[in-house]
A and B are shown apart, each in its own frame.
Chain A
Amino acid sequence: MKRLLTYLLAAFVVSLGTAGQENVSLFTIDAGYASIHDSYLTPITYGGTDLALGYEVMRNTRFAPDKWLWQLGVGADYNYVENDARNNNLHKLMGDITFDMQRQWRGAIAHRVNLSAGPMTQLRAGIIYDEVNSNNPVSVRAHWNVGATGMASMDTRLWRLSMTLRYQVHLPVIGVFFAPEYDESYYEIYLGNHKNLAHLGWWGNRLDMTHYVGADLHLGKTTLRVGYRARLEHWTVNNLKVHDVSHSLVLGISL
């Protein structure tokens, strides 16, 4: 069974391939504004700085390079936010990995405009740390989900510079995520009470979105990226409420 799974995984990776017209591989850095509301830690909404590092690779698949592409993104983001009274800070550190496959429609609605859409999956986890709270100093975040992604891109020129304009949305639909009960301490979880910690996430209790819009500027073999990314994480479960938002400028370069 283990050998069969290994073969299947290897076949899957090989089938993704590396050749094709879509060929993006770059490192990105995000900087912008973040807002955090986590009722487990505080009823107050905090605002401040969003910083993120990421790596993204996008390729046409080998098995149907004209029709399918795959995309892998890994990243880590850090938010340093403070309350309106400016006497306390939260630190949020998250990491994520996102994989998707998309069916492409080239020239779907206009010349040089490509549309694509397909399934995605994402694992995202991290913590928020409150500098002064006593027995509720951290809020652990972890969720795995599956959903859909959609992308619209257009190859164009800015004077003599070749570039690709791109808009993409990642929209998880269903998954599982971690949340303690309303005022459950992590000490109680440490003591062994693991009831009601894993939750089914769907649009009735959870909404996540990541939007990206930007331009990839092709300078010979190097690609520079300039864009904007918005993230939303919103959920309500166990009478807890989370609403985190970030808006960031994205800069990237292929190496």
Chain B
Amino acid sequence: MLSRYIPNGVHKSVKSALKNVCGCHSFYCTYCLPFISLCFVVLLVGCAEQDEFESDQVGNFEALWTIMDEHYSFFDYKQVDWNEVYQRYRPRVSNEMTDRELFDICGDMLKELRDGHTNLIASHDVSRYWVWELWPVNYDERLINEHYLNFDYKMASGIRYQILPDNFGYMYYGSFSSEIGEGNLDLILSYLSTADGLIIDVRDNGGGYLTNVEKLVSRFIDTKTLAGYIRHKTGRGHNDLSEPYAYYFEPARNHIHYLKPVVVLANRGSFSATNNFVSIMKSLDNVTIVGDTTGGGCGLPFTSELPNGWRVRFSSCPIMDSQGRLTEFGVAPDVRVDMDKNDFTHDAILDTAIGILARATNLTTTNNHHNN
């Protein structure tokens, strides 16, 4: 019966082999049947997955283009015709070129996406589109430490903090990659609780963990708050995106909160998770955003790799603000201010924040007097 499904030549060869090895003439021999079955099974199981692309220069270019084509989430939002990009860049690639030449072409191709979260990472270089490098710096750490803090500040969980002479709290958080301990945050906010207002400075904060965004925001809300919406790619098509999922932050339970007026300082270097933080804080009633537009970067980046081992990072999951808007190109401040780059003793953005808090606290005091 089995032999009916086996080509005649193969059938004869196998029977001949069986006769030589085992001495039998049949597939159904006690010893041969299990052995043949096992060989079939090992062949079936043993087939490891074959990679789709060759590891030559053309293969790596094709792999990069395809990975982006199937996973990048902002093609339509940025009106990038990725097929047209392929037509322009593919002719420039050949197997004879060096790795550095290929890297430069691939890096240029990725810059077409105008995305700070998109990088090609090789042993010798990282391609990037860091638009904030082109904008005014709008932050000078030394100036603040010297002229506002008098080099006298506390540090915990990556946060520098102090109460300024005007009785406004100041905290600088330089990276959302610095893990925030809930206990540390309690001690920081406890120390700042006597201040009439608080300035949270996230300028030049290039992002980090979104879980730290939640930890920080949860200290400035007293009710469940809509933080925004998140989506993800569901398939290879450019528009294969999930329905926006609304996500909320809860106030931190059994921890210290700060509910007085708050000003958040931002600049173009406030990117990625910091952009997310600013977009959420902006939606709160008692918070004012001061400084420059943030650097953007609202796509949660995933990582993939090419056959030659280069890594590629790209925006994969769009995160929107509480109004359902993408903030890929930044969050605009409530009060737009630039620092005077010729003034080495004053931070115009910080001064503006102090002024806003002064007015807000005076207003609060006045209202309290009226109420009384």
Residues of A within 8 A of B (CB): 35, 37, 42-45, 47, 83-88, 109-110, 113, 130, 132-136, 152, 167, 169, 181-185, 187-188, 190-193, 209, 211, 213, 230-232, 238-239, 241, 243, 245, 247
Q: Is the pair A182, B235 in contact by a Cβ cutoff of 8 Å?
A: yes
Residue of B48, B71, B234, B302 touching A35 (CB-CB under 8 A): B48
- Please tell me if the beta carbons of B303 and A133 are within 8 angstroms of each other in the complex: yes
Cα distance A113–B46 in the bound complex, in angstroms: 27
Contacting pair A37 B247 (CB below 8 A) = no
Least CB separation from A42: chain B residue: B305
When the two chains form their complex, are residues A183 and B317 in contact, meaning their CB atoms are under 8 A apart?
yes
* Contact digits for B38-53, partner A, Cβ 8 Å, 1 yes 0 no: 1001101111111111
Q: Does B63 interact with chain A (Cβ within 8 Å)?
A: yes
A-B contact pairs, 26 of them (CB 8 A): A43-B305, A83-B309, A84-B55, A85-B309, A87-B123, A88-B309, A110-B30, A132-B303, A134-B302, A134-B313, A135-B300, A167-B38, A182-B235, A183-B71, A187-B210, A187-B230, A187-B300, A188-B317, A190-B211, A191-B230, A213-B38, A232-B45, A239-B236, A245-B45, A245-B48, A247-B42
Are A239 and B301 in touch, CB under 8 angstroms? no
Question: With A239-B236, A245-B46 as given contacts, are A211 and B41 in contact (CB-CB < 8 Å)?
Answer: yes
A230 touching B316, Cβ below 8 Å: no
CA distance A156 to B216 in the complex (A): 70
Q: In the complex, which residues of chain B have a beta carbon less than 8 angstroms from the beta carbon of A241? A: 49
Q: Contact between A83 and B305 (Cβ–Cβ < 8 Å)?
A: yes
Is B245 an interface residue, CB under 8 A from the partner? yes
Contact at B300–A191, with CB atoms within 8 Å? no
- Select one of A42, A43, A230 contacting B42, CB under 8 A: A230
CA gap between A86 and B308 in the complex, in Å: 9
B305 & A184 in contact (Cβ 8 Å cutoff)? no
- Contacts A182-B234, A193-B245 hold; do A167 and B316 have CB atoms under 8 A apart? no
A105 CA to B240 CA in the complex, in Å?
A: 53
Q: How far is the CA of A193 from the CA of B235 in the complex (A)?
A: 17
Q: Which residues of A contact B123 (CB under 8 A)?
A: 87
B268 adjacent to chain A (CB < 8 Å):
no
From B211, B232, B236, B307, contact of A184 by CB (8 A): B232
A83–B308 Cα distance when bound, in Å, is 9
| Chain A contact residues: helix, strand, loop or mixed | loop
Assembled-state Cα–Cα distance A230/B301 (Å): 36
B232, closest chain A residue (CB) = A184
Check if B46 sits within 8 Å of A183, measured CB to CB.
no
Taking a contact as CB atoms closer than 8 A, the residue among A47, A85, A133, A182 that contacts B233 in the complex is: A182
A45 and B50: CB pair below 8 A?
Answer: yes
Contact B309 A230 (CB under 8 A): no
Let me know if A87 and B309 touch, CB within 8 A: yes
A230 adjacent to B245 (CB under 8 Å): no
Docked pose: A211 CA to B50 CA in angstroms? 22
Known interface pairs A84-B55, A152-B34, A211-B42; A191-B303 also in contact (CB < 8 Å)? no
Are A85 and B307 neighbours in the complex by a CB distance under 8 Å?
A: yes
Assess whether A135 is in contact with B230, with CB atoms less than 8 Å apart.
Answer: no
Is there a chain A Cβ closer than 8 Å to B242's Cβ? Answer: yes
Complex Cα–Cα for A241 and B52 (A): 13
Whole-angstrom CA separation of A181 from B44 in the bound complex: 28
Smallest CB-CB separation from B302: which chain A residue? A136
Asked whether B3 is an interface residue with its Cβ less than 8 Å from the other chain, the reply is: no
Task: Give the residue of A113, A135, A209, A247 whose beta carbon is less than 8 angstroms from that of B316.
Answer: A135
Q: How near does chain A come to B220, taking the closest CB pair, in angstroms? A: 19
A133 to B210 CA separation, bound complex (whole angstroms): 16
A-B pairs with lowest CB-CB distance, top 5 = A85-B309, A37-B49, A183-B233, A35-B48, A243-B49
Residues in A whose Cβ lies below 8 Å from that of B311: 88, 132
Say if the beta carbon of B360 comes within 8 Å of chain A.
Answer: no
Q: Mark B264-292, 1 if CB is under 8 A from A, else 0.
A: 00000000000000000000000000000
Chain B residues whose C-beta falls within 8 Å of the C-beta of A87 in the assembled complex: 123, 309
Query: For the complex, what is the distance from the CA of A143 to the CA of B337, rounded to whole Å?
Result: 55
B323 within 8 A of A: no
Contact of B52 with A43 in the complex, beta carbons under 8 Å: yes
Q: In the complex, are the beta carbons of B46 and A185 less than 8 A apart? A: no
B303 touches A185 (CB 8 A): no
Please report the C-alpha to C-alpha distance between residue A134 and residue B209 in the assembled complex, in whole angstroms. 10
Q: Which residues of B contact A190 (CB under 8 A)?
A: 211
B46: chain A residues within 8 A (beta carbon):
230, 245, 247
Determine the chain A residues whose CB is within 8 A of the CB of B63 once the complex forms.
43
Query: Within the complex, what minimum Cβ distance (angstroms) separates A139 from chain B?
Result: 12
A185 to B29 CA separation, bound complex (whole angstroms): 54
**Quick one: given A181-B234, A184-B242, A188-B230, are A43 and B309 in contact (CB under 8 Å)?**
no
Q: Which residue of B has the minimal Cβ distance to A154?
A: B30
Tell yes or no: B304 within 8 A of A by CB.
yes
Check B67 for interface membership: any CB of A closer than 8 A: yes
Q: Are the C-beta atoms of B317 and A185 separated by less than 8 Å?
A: yes
Q: Which residue of B lies closest to A169 (CB)?
A: B41
In the complex, A134→B300 CA distance in Å?
A: 9
Q: Decide: A135 and B309 in contact? CB cutoff 8 A.
A: no
B45-A183 in contact (CB<8A): no
CA of A160 to CA of B232 in the docked complex: distance in angstroms? Answer: 65
Please give, as numbers and ranges, the residues of chain A lying within 8 Å of B50 by CB-CB distance: 45
Cα(A44)–Cα(B242), bound, Å: 26
Given contacts A181-B232, A188-B232, contact A47 B48 (CB under 8 A): yes
**Chain B 225-239 residues near chain A, CB threshold 8 A:** 230, 232-236
Indicate if the CB atoms of B51 and A44 lie closer than 8 Å.
Answer: yes
- Find chain A residues with CB under 8 A from B317 CB: 135, 183-185, 187-188
**B42, A136: Cβ atoms under 8 Å?**
no
User: Known contacts being A45-B51, A113-B30, A239-B235, is A185 close to B316, with CB within 8 Å?
Assistant: yes
